[in-house]
Amino acid sequence: MNFLRVTLIRILYAAILLIAVLVLNFSLMHAAPGDVADTIAQAAGGIDAEALEQIRREYGLDQPFLVQLGRYIGNVLQFDLGYSYFYSDKVTNLILSRLPATLLLVISAQLLALVVGVVLGVFSARKPNGILSHFVTFLALFGYSAPVFWTGLLMLVVFSLMVPLFPVAGMRDVTIEGGFFVQALDIAHHLVLPMLTLASIFLALYSRLSRAAMMEVLGSDYVRTAKAKGLSPRQVVYKHALKNALSPVITLAGLQLSAVVSGAVLVETVFSWPGLGTLAFQSILARDTPLILGILFFSALVVIVGNLLTDLALRLVDPRVGGKR
């Protein structure tokens, strides 16, 4: 019962946070100079002031700020994110059509970073002065300090141009025809470089953190108790130490969700990956306010829900919080 109540309170907080994000986004976009009328005028090669006013009236941009804000929030609550000027389509449709590509990229990168990061962390913690441990330290420094778009470009130069192993851009090759399996293989082939690029930062983070957490746990008294119980070194590491070392990594992975989403914008742009990131980038260039707002709202939603789930998952994993009496 307690768990249910906590969950409900967390959901309530999340909803309040989401509305705050909504207001902040809208205010910032409103404060920024230039609107869609300017863009249309620019595209038309300059129009007179009266026509400009006409366009503003049509889109409701002449109304006071609070009226526009109220109208926007009302629409969002009815799951209406508005209409994109640039693509001439509903914002929700655009987001949903681009979502699978981004989810594929973000989830695969996050999983890769988590699994490889934890494995590297555990192995290097078992021999803190070994070659692998120094390699992990170096990798972490490199992965975390190199800007992700630069890593992406470097990957492109090395693995697409110098050694043409992987395609340069896009998500699929239109010339390839075949069944589901062939298509999936093609997408996976295109996925490798963007996934590695996006994973590089988080791999660094997770390997470093799990190494530190693991070393702390391996030095703790209950690990010595486990040895005294006659467990093999392997059992000590995987049965006693790893479970305890994992919870900070899970927490961080949840918190990093927002960084993964923002990292995806850069990576998708570099690799022309047809996901939300490229959509966001293009909508900013086109000053397509409803679309920008829609994408911002959506990524905020993803991050808030992600954090909520992490929080609840930790409560379930940790017996000190979720244990039955």
Partner 1 sequence: MTDRPLLDVENLTVRFAVRRGGVFGRKQFLDAVDGVSFALARGETLAIVGESGSGKTTTALAVARLVAAHSGRVELDGADILGLEGEALRQVRRKVQFIFQDPYSSLNPRQRAEDVVREPLLSLTDMPRDEQQKVIDELFVQVGLRPEQKRLFPHQFSGGQRQRIGIARALATRPELIICDEPVSALDVAVQAQILNLLRRLQKEFGLTYLFISHDLGVVQHMCDSIAVMYMGRIVEHGPRLSLFNNPLHPYTAALLSAVPSVDKARRAATRRILIPGDPPDPVNLPPGCRFANRCPVAQPQCREAEPELRTVAGGQRVACHLVKEDGTAPL
When the beta carbons of 55 and 236 are compared against partner 1, the nearer one is 236
For the bound state, the minimum distance from the C-beta of residue 4 to partner 1, rounded and expressed in Å, comes to: 21
For the bound state, the minimum distance from the C-beta of residue 237 to partner 1, rounded and expressed in Å, comes to: 13
Pick from 207, 197, 200, 195: which is nearest to 171 by CA?
A: 195
Two structure tokens written together for 77: 């609550």
When the beta carbons of 120 and 226 are compared against partner 1, the nearer one is 226
Positions touching partner 1 (CB under 8 A) are 220-222, 224-232, 235, 240, 243-244, 318-320, 323, 325
Two structure tokens written together for 99: 């979502």
When the beta carbons of 93 and 225 are compared against partner 1, the nearer one is 225
Residue 301: how many other CB atoms lie within 10 Å: 14
When the beta carbons of 40 and 231 are compared against partner 1, the nearer one is 231
For the bound state, the minimum distance from the C-beta of residue 223 to partner 1, rounded and expressed in Å, comes to: 8
Two structure tokens written together for 181: 């399996």
Which residues are CB-neighbours of 241 under 8 A, at least 6 positions away? 214, 217, 218, 223
For the bound state, the minimum distance from the C-beta of residue 220 to partner 1, rounded and expressed in Å, comes to: 6
For the bound state, the minimum distance from the C-beta of residue 240 to partner 1, rounded and expressed in Å, comes to: 5
When the beta carbons of 129 and 145 are compared against partner 1, the nearer one is 129
Q: How far apart are CA 110 and CA 302, in angstroms?
A: 14
The answer to whether 41 and 287 have CB atoms below 8 angstroms apart is: no
φ, ψ for residue 247 (rounded to 5)? -65, -40
Q: At what angle do helices 242-255 and 91-126 cross, to 10 degrees?
A: 150
